[in-house]
Amino acid sequence: MKIFILFLCLMAQFSTSHGQTIQKGKAKSLDKSFSYFYLKPQEEIKGILLLIPAWGEKPKSVFYKNKLPYLLLEKGFVTIIPELTPSFTPEPNTFAQLDELIRTFQNTSSTKHIPCVLGGLSIGGTIALHYAEYLASQQSPSKVDAIFTIDPPLDLTRLYISSVRKIEYACSSNLIKKEGLSIKNNLEGKLKGSANEQQEAYIHNSVFSANQADGGNAKLLSNIPIRLYAEPDLAFVQKTYCEALQFEDINAVDSEKLQQLLQRLGNKHVEYITTKNRGFHIWNILEPHDFIKWIAPILPSNQH
């Protein structure tokens, strides 16, 4: 009971920070309505932080899982967390929704361009990078100035192969087998077959393809600052979920290989950040004060 009361107190403290409360908004794109939550400064908006939740994560709950929205609130940033349909593959409707949110809040500022930072946890990070690749493919002025991800699945071929292994592992719990079946069925349904049967489809729909010399779609990310966060604690997942799990079964392998590829392609602003003892597959992996130092070049001049 004491822990529950403390949690409620923390929530109340967050929601009243600087006299601001988390609000819910509605928007429409491609004739479809969707909801989002946001926390905005009392003064004019000077920047946008757009966060994308993990699969099954309630958007509003993200505000209580990392201090980044509140630290950037002090610098004039609005934080927006939309309710998007999660997908391993790029979705035009999702891109249209993100376009609409960025356009809506940029139009509230008298400044021609205000900085926009986009990031997400797990599948949210996958969506963030899919969107960055979409913007680059359109050859239009980028709406996003920096991207970050926390432990996202990026290479669908690797993910599919891992899902098959998870089904076959002899684990004490059925959790890993269920996860493997869910991912396998999702990918086969979306891409009309296995990774072996539909190789081109898996490459075309992946953020990054390790078996392609140019990384597949990842070559579109060579000009944007990116931070890829992970806590690759294989010992923890083996002890907690299944002793048979391999490093290729955790998403950190995608982030590590993507960073190496983008460096080879000339991206001087890509970083792979690994942590210890901050948690596995959670928002807390991102250390907010250090992150703000990283995005300092895009902050308003009086906020560095």
Question: What per-residue confidence (pLDDT) applies to 20?
Answer: 76
200 burial (CB, 10 Å; 0-12 / 13-18 / 19+) is exposed
Question: What per-residue confidence (pLDDT) applies to 112?
Answer: 74
The structural domains of the chain, ordered by start, are 25-303 (3.40.50.1820)
Sites in the chain below the pLDDT cut of 70: 1-19, 140-142, 301-304
Question: What per-residue confidence (pLDDT) applies to 6?
Answer: 42
Question: What per-residue confidence (pLDDT) applies to 299?
Answer: 87
Question: What per-residue confidence (pLDDT) applies to 107?
Answer: 84
Question: What per-residue confidence (pLDDT) applies to 34?
Answer: 96
107's CB contacts (< 8 A; 6+ apart) are: none
Distance CA 73, CA 22 (A): 12
Question: What per-residue confidence (pLDDT) applies to 142?
Answer: 67
Which 3-state string (H, E, C) describes 146-206?
EEEEECCCCCHHHHHHHHHHHHHCCCCCCHHHHHHHHHHHHHHHHHCCCCCCCHHHHHHCC
pTM: 0.92
Q: How does pLDDT run across 109-125, given as a tens digit for each residue?
A: 777 789 999 999 999 99
